Amino acid sequence: MSAATPSRDGSSLGAAVGALLKSREVAVAVVLVLLIAATTLKSDAFLFSSTGWRDLLLTPSMLVLLAVGQTAVIITRNVDLSVGSTLGLTAYLTGRLFIDTSLPIILVVLAAVLMGAVLGLVNGVLVAWGRVPALVITLGTMYIYRGAFLTWAGSDRINAGDMPRAFRDLGTDSILGIPVLTIVAVVVLAAVGYYLHTARGGREFYAIGSDPDAAHLYGLRISRRIMAAFVLSGALAGLAGAVSAARFGTVSSSVGTGIEFEAVGAAVIGGVAIFGGSGTVWGAALGAFLLVTINRSLPVLGISDFWQQAVVGALIVGAITLDRVLVRRQEKKLVAARDDAGSSHAGPPTREPVVATTAPGSPGASAPGDTSSPTDPQEGTR
Amino acid sequence: MKIHNRRLAGLAAVALAASMALTACGSDSDGGEGASGDGGGTYTFIPKNLGNPYFDTSNAGGEKAIGEFGGEYEQVGPATGDDPAGQVTYINTATQQGRSALIVSANDPDALCDAIGEAMDADIPVVTYDADTNPDCRDIFVSQADAAGIAQAQVDLIADQIGDSGEIAFLSAAANATNQNEWIDLMTAEFEANHPDITVVDTVYGDDDDQKSFDATAALLQTHPDLAGIISPTTVGIAAAARYLSTSDAKGEVKLTGLGTPNQMREYVEDGTVDAFALWNPADLGYLAAYTANALATGEIEGEGDSFTAGDLGDYTVGADNVVLLGDPFVFDADNIGDFDF
């Protein structure tokens, strides 16, 4: 949505709006902190025991990886439902490589990432060139990949004893009190976040998601970007597969079932607009952190299993509602700002004014400006 | 047309069976010294699927038994464990070959009944093991365990491991899993009746999902800091719980037992996270199934109430619904886990 653009041009108005925009990430972070605080009051081991501290940081790392990939895809106004199956397949590949070959750990992990990327490429090619909605394509590949996994693995499962101890230790080891897998997730998050925020290619993701037609008219290579998003999502699902194998120590053919919806949920809770064009991986990562931590703390707070799903659902609905409220409030502010500035255009307060404040501010001065300005005018009409 | 064909096939099968039986009688004069009679004969094991370590183990037990009574062992089966049609083909083939008896682990309770019926029409006894068909379409089901035995074994294990006092919790599969709930009810009743110092403080569900069971274990430890033990009567749950415990502060402090398979649990038994857990011994199951098939083939037993001797395992009686029960679950611990691979 238009919300993503004005804050990044660094103008004084942008800075003011930026504070408001950031509130989504801040809001999720505040809820997260409150949740951790409440749970810790109930049972101080939740935060202060060494296992509690480790689990707090470690448990979300897998979902963070998926949510980051999912965010890149959703920003381009697509969705990737096949990540759960991809995760399962690559987790099994990881185990199989340890059983059947003597490849070093790093190569096995790379193989998992590579396989995930290839599976993502299949999605990307079908979506970008098949011109079929990603929802349908990835729903199809979700079943195809899961079916391939079932055929490959059958009733076989990878057990802890099948994988080298050094690999499994990666699932629990810490460096300076921070679990290794959390560090991996944070590094990925930072790299993707930096790319999406600053690089030209990253900004094009937003432009495409804001308005594919305008992006096309402007001459952006849409197919290539969409494919890149799916390859990234697949590769991160592949990495998450290796992470899953290391952390849980077993791989059965049900691994990763349903986690694609958690990844989408995390992104939505973190403020990524489901129709593309807006949102940050930071938000999605915080959303993932919150989702996982809710599931871990509700039992400690004495809320029964049966309510946990409902709470997560309420959170997603709440996040979307909050989204609308924030966008509307921001529109009003922008309209007010425009009226104060004495701009003309007495039309109904659509989102058009956003463009009026953005485009003159940075015409091609920075990467964000140059991709968003031509696409935004179309957006008010959506 | 179809019926006609089937009748023809049936006839052919009977003819074949008759001729095979005659040759078998001629050639197999030096039967084994097995306690269940003459022995001899040809026995076909049809597991749910081939290449499955569980069935490899149980059928190896069957092969051993067949060797003891001097029969001939054969194993055929589909490649995947959800292929009743594949099993039907193998049952039909074995029927046409006129084997002495078939020992089947059914991929579907109904889908095999026609094929099994044809085999039985051709006087070939059919024993199911591990997974039953509908009771009225096979001769005897060799059951690996009954609910009471499974519950008792787990109660005994945890009571022994935590010194017969303290808080315990269940990590189950799904909240609506019939067998899990039955076992948990039986175990709870047993604790109340005979272990007054053990309190059941919680039952959590991992949905037989590694990750969910893993997180549920973590939550259990958070919620109940004084927890002494966890019982997980599901193979996925116990492995996930063991994985969590093995990397947590609670390793060795909180005891874990339940139903698991040796390959899943080997790592955790060896590193001291788990002392002992239970499951039936699939080798014994296959062994008993083979002796049961032999007793049927030789006419030693016919159905409910009849008794026979199954080699080293001792005497068995056919129970209600023509079920032969293997017995109490087998306990795996550090001393014997190395002997198993399934």
pLDDT classification of B4: cutoffs 50, 70, 90 = low
Percent of chain B scoring above 90 in pLDDT? 51
- Can you give the residue ranges of every domain in chain A? 2-379
pLDDT classification of A373: cutoffs 50, 70, 90 = very low
In chain A, which residues touch B (CB < 8 A)? 43, 45-46, 49-52, 55, 59, 151, 154-157, 159-161, 171-172, 244, 248-252, 254-255, 257, 259, 295-296, 299-300, 302, 305-306
- Token digits for A198? 């600053």
SS3 B277: strand
If one compares A357 and A28, the residue with the highest pLDDT of the two is A28
Contact B216 A59 (CB under 8 A): no
Q: Does residue A349 register a pLDDT over 50? A: no
Cβ within 8 Å of residue B101, ≥6 positions away: B41, B43, B44, B124, B125, B126, B127, B293, B294, B296, B297
Average pLDDT on B75-102 reads 88
CATH classification for the domain delimited by A2-379, as one of 1.10.287, 1.10.3470, 1.20.120, 3.30.1890: 1.10.3470
Q: Does residue A25 register a pLDDT over 90? A: no
* DSSP strand pairing (B198-205 vs B166-172): parallel
Q: What's the pLDDT score for residue B49?
A: 81
Q: Does residue B98 register a pLDDT over 50? A: yes
Directed axis angle between helix A222-248 and helix A180-198, to 10°? Answer: 170
Average pLDDT on B17-25 reads 45
Smallest CA–CA distance, residue B162 to chain A, in Å, is: 22
Q: Does residue A363 register a pLDDT over 70? A: no
Name the CATH architecture for the domain at B2-145+282-328.
3-Layer(aba) Sandwich (3.40)
Phi-psi region of A119 (alpha: psi -120 to 50; beta: other; left: phi over 0): alpha
Q: What's the pLDDT score for residue B268?
A: 92
CB A133 within 8 A of CB A250: no
Q: Does residue A178 register a pLDDT over 70? A: yes
Q: What's the pLDDT score for residue B40?
A: 77
Which residue from B52, B105, B24 is spatially nearest to B289, judged by alpha carbons? B105
Q: What's the pLDDT score for residue A204?
A: 93
Cβ within 8 Å of residue B338, ≥6 positions away: none
N-to-C CA span, chain A: 10
Smallest CA–CA distance, residue A249 to chain B, in Å, is: 7
Name the average pLDDT for chain A.
Answer: 82
Percent of chain B scoring above 70 in pLDDT? 88
d(CA B158, CA B198): 10
Provide the whole-model pTM. 0.73
If one compares A51 and B95, the residue with the highest pLDDT of the two is B95
Reported as a single tens digit per residue, the pLDDT across A110-143 is 999 999 999 999 999 999 988 889 999 999 999 9
Whether the ipTM is more than 0.85: the answer is: no
Q: Does residue B70 register a pLDDT over 60? A: yes
pLDDT classification of A6: cutoffs 50, 70, 90 = very low
Contact B219 A302 (CB under 8 A): no
Average pLDDT on A281-293 reads 93
d(CA A219, CA A5): 19
- Can you give the residue ranges of every domain in chain B? 2-145+282-328, 147-279
If one compares A182 and A16, the residue with the highest pLDDT of the two is A182
Percent of chain A scoring above 90 in pLDDT? 46
Q: What's the pLDDT score for residue B211?
A: 81
Q: Does residue B26 register a pLDDT over 70? A: no
Reported as a single tens digit per residue, the pLDDT across B168-179 is 999 998 888 777
Q: Does residue B222 register a pLDDT over 60? A: yes
Q: Does residue A37 register a pLDDT over 50? A: yes
Q: What is the DSSP code string of B212-255?
A: HHHHHHHHHHHH-TTEEEEEE-SHHHHHHHHHHHHTSTTBTTBE
Name the CATH architecture for the domain at B147-279.
3-Layer(aba) Sandwich (3.40)
Contact B205 A305 (CB under 8 A): yes
Reported as a single tens digit per residue, the pLDDT across A150-170 is 888 876 788 888 899 899 989
